[in-house]
Amino acid sequence: MNVGVIGSGYVGLVAGACLAESGNDVVCADIDANKVARLNAGEVPIYEPGLEPLIERNLATGRLKFTTDVPEAVRSAHVIFIAVGTPPGEDGSADLQHVLDVAREIGRSVQDEKIVITKSTVPVGTARLVREAIEAETDVPVHVCSNPEFLKEGAAVADFMRPDRVVLGVDSEYASAILEELYAPFLRKGQGVGRLMVMDVPAAEITKYAANAMLATRISFMNSIAHLCEAAGADVDAVRRGVGSDTRIGPSFLFPGAGYGGSCFPKDVNALVRTMR
């Protein structure tokens, strides 16, 4: 399958390399000419275990290419992932400027029917805005879907190649069938790997934020319990094990510590709060 990935940052690089590894012809487009030149030379600007050899191998076979020509990447692909950044605005909301700029470029460039997927973490309603931006530029039919990523830093390649689940928010049976085919190599049911979860587009958009907010909540909650344990002279590890043994709760993300952080949890929690207001 011919795939385009717009944005060659963390998510775009991992998605592009892994999709090429499964046999697709992938073109990753980015407006940063220096980054594209380095990537075509096999220099990976981020460190993620397993990513560099994956890129090198698929560059050598010709299944993976990097370009600054976004319109050509759009025209050559049947499935197009939008994987550009959504930095937080001053009010905590996700800044969709780059996502909508890409959508308008897609609209100006399409010549035949396409499936456009938001891979970036975006608030509910973004797919509708993407569709409006594309349709303002073209009459060519375009399916706009949501496929949020669930990648952990340090294990992103493994997470993509052997996912817990793949969430697809689709707007048509046609798009669903194409994306199920695209992800089939990663969902090896005989090995107990992954679940395909097909849903409406808004549900997929909310799922990403809800998942990250739930994980952040568990961390914060356990830290509050740790404070209580310290005041009461209780063993917090015993409490953690006692709580986590309940199958409705489970043991994951119940370790007290410094609090949640990183590049996603704070940003996504703030964006969800802003959306709910």
Q: Report d(CA 1, CA 39) in Å as an integer.
A: 22
Catalytic one of 18, 28, 229, 264: 264
Cβ atoms of 186 and 160 closer than 8 Å:
yes
Provide the token pair at 276. 């709910």
Cβ atoms of 254 and 240 closer than 8 Å:
yes
Distances (CA, A) of 213 to 136, 140, 226, 242: 34, 37, 20, 23
Residue 221 burial class via C-beta count within 10 angstroms: exposed 0-12, middle 13-18, buried 19 and up:
middle
Active site residue 145: no
Q: How far is CA 267 from the centre of its chain?
A: 14
CA dihedral 81, 174, 210, 4 (to 10 degrees): -10
Residues in the chain, total: 277
Active site residues: 264
